[in-house]
Amino acid sequence: MDHSKMDHGSNDHSGHSPGHGQMGHDHHAMMIADFRKRFWVTLVLTIPILFFSPMIQDFLGYEFLLPGNQYILFALSSVVYFYGGWPFLKGFISEVKKGAPGMMTLIAMAISVAYFYSSATVFGLDGVDFFWELATLIAIMLVGHWIEMKSVLGASKALQLLVSMMPAEAHRVKGDNVEDIKLEDLLKDDIILVKPGEKVPADGIITEGTSYLNESMLTGESKPVKKELDDKVIGGSINGNSTLKVKVEHTGKDSYLNKVITMVEEAQKTKSKMQNLSDRAAKWLTYIALAIGFGTLAVWLILGFPFVYALERMVTVMVIACPHALGLAIPLVVAISTAVSAQNGLLIRNRTAFEESRKISALLFDKTGTLTKGDFGVTRIKSVNGSYSSEEILRLSSALEQSSEHPIAVGIIKKVKEGKVSIPKPENFNAITGKGVEANVEGKQIKVVSPGYLRDEKINIPEDAYSDAAETVVFVLIDNELAGYIALADEIRPESAEAIKVFKKNNIKVLMATGDNEKTAKAVSEKLGLDGYYAEVLPHQKVEIVQELQGKGEFVAMTGDGVNDAPALAQANVGIAVGSGTDVAAETADIILVNSNPQDIANLILFGKATYNKMIQNLIWATGYNVVAIPLAAGVLYSSGFVLGPAVGAVFMSLSTIIVAINAQLLKKKIGKK
């Protein structure tokens, strides 16, 4: 019953039916309805209990006692105790079985002591009953739990929204016919028809048509994205005003949306250092409260006070000390931060790394597609071998680049298509790690490589290769002889400068590691005002750079594409995979950014700080409240005439829980939609 730590993400998301993933949420909603019902029944019974209570009548100065008044109070209070208090009694049994006394133990002990002592006074024991305090305590605890659970459910709304994004059916194309099938019957390589305004049923590649798709709920990109032939589409995105035909790539568990859902669920379930801290604090607070509670009873009895008064003090201590707000402090912030992050294109795989993003002191960027747009355009093609024209060099090199998604390859293919040149077929294709690609084309061995490859092979780089410092140049070798080179320009993202200002404002060093040449790296570094750069770096060398920075005492965040940069991402204190698009399975990254925008990384760090601050605020409030309230409940100010009663204690206890819940909800305002 300790629902503040309930697993809200254990349901299976492998299918995509309309009821997809709803079972856990429905169960949670049923629990909320149960608490609401118990609260209203308890509240209705509490009113006559208060009215007929002699203590309340004395306090308000009226008298209205019915025959058998105490038995009426006993009967009404019994219903309140067993019906209204059942969730707490059940939770107490569960905690005892686990050998882990917690907040339910404290609540159950408080209401049980109150009920059984008051019942004993009805049947002959000397003393004054406090049925009215029992009833108000249970009512207030029920409403506190009800509000708390609604907050937790509210935090999962974004996840529910993701779950509900997939349509129930898909239009599968079979020859000239189109048939409507259930989503779970969709198979890889099926061709589906997506009509205007419809949700895309699965990840795939466009085989026919051009349209603008709304991917805002998936990637955080607010503007509709233009998609045309051979472009990838994500299941759950919304089609614009044109009809598309899509070849299915991923369905079910392999789909992008399902991976996002799974990632958010796992992040919400994962305990971080902060959550373990709050759990330990709650456990110790339980032991302390029990010790102080029984200690309070003993002290007041030793001082000669009536047993009923000493008992009341003990009950109040136990009510006040319930670490409910403490149990809610971290899990609710976790639920909200992971769900809101996912809506903004920040997918958290490692909660501890996310929380520790506030410590980042050095940020190592890859250049292409992150600080720059990654949208390369060919600016120059130069032949240095009279046997081959510049057009022929472009044509032969395009054979190697046609299946690559690297921005340089995309730029070369774009240039070839503009000239309507037919692309030859490559054979024996091979990637030269970190340096380029090679293949046999029309009987010739073709290599498209970086300047680093030329230096390693002792091949001279033409003097006029770098006419513009902002250009990226690749060299084309035919049968191991330099035939020419292709220069491409990549525009710096306008968001990069703003993001770097944010990093510097937060005292974070911004460095760049790129496989590009020295001139290009220097030009980008100077234009953006970076703190340093590393040029012509191979993927494995990025690990060494990260280690070098860590050796200097820096807390390093590494950004990379999650594939070639995997070792460096794993080595960094915080690994951030960027530019992953629909490939969200970057296993070595702690955090995945759906878009390649450096502004997202700035948002990530600021949101990580805001999340950590909310956790600290909630922990301080939850524990600080108890530090002040427990002594008051024990009666330390008795000589000053101040005594904190059980009912007032229950009000403050519930108020503490509500404040923690509201404070966590304010986290949503800390990150904005782009």
**C-alpha triplet 235, 240, 244: angle, nearest 5°:** 65
Listing from the earlier edge strand, what are the strands of the sheet with 481-489? 377-383, 481-489, 471-478, 444-449, 436-441, 426-432
Say if CB 479 and CB 338 are below 8 A apart: no
Q: At what angle do helices 69-79 and 131-155 cross, to 10 degrees?
A: 20
| Residues paired with residue 431 on neighbouring β-strands, in sequence order | 437
Alpha-helical (H) ranges within 488-592 are 494-505, 518-528, 539-551, 566-571
Q: Which of 73, 76, 69, 75 is nearest to 42 (CA)?
A: 76
Give CA separation, 533 vs 82, 401, 449, 557, in Å: 69, 28, 21, 15
Say if CB 489 and CB 474 are below 8 A apart: no
Write out the DSSP string of 19-60. TTT-HHHHHHHHHHHHHHHHHHHHHHHHHHHHHH-HHHHHHH
Q: Determine which one of 190, 279, 366, 565 is catalytic.
A: 366
Classify 228 as helix, strand or coil. coil
Residue 149: exposure state from Cβ atoms within 10 A (0-12, 13-18, ≥19): buried
**C-alpha triplet 666, 672, 674: angle, nearest 5°:** 170
Q: Supply 535's token pair.
A: 């040029």
Say if CB 79 and CB 45 are below 8 A apart: yes
Q: Supply 560's token pair.
A: 């990379």
- Active-site residue flag, 366: yes
What is the b/e burial string over 46-62, where b = at least 16 CB atoms within 10 angstroms of the residue's CB? beebbebbbeebeeeee
Side-chain-facing half-sphere of 181: CA atoms under 13 Å: 18
Phi, psi of 654 (to 5 degrees): -65, -40
In the block, residue with structure tokens 């059980």: 646
Catalytically active residues are 366
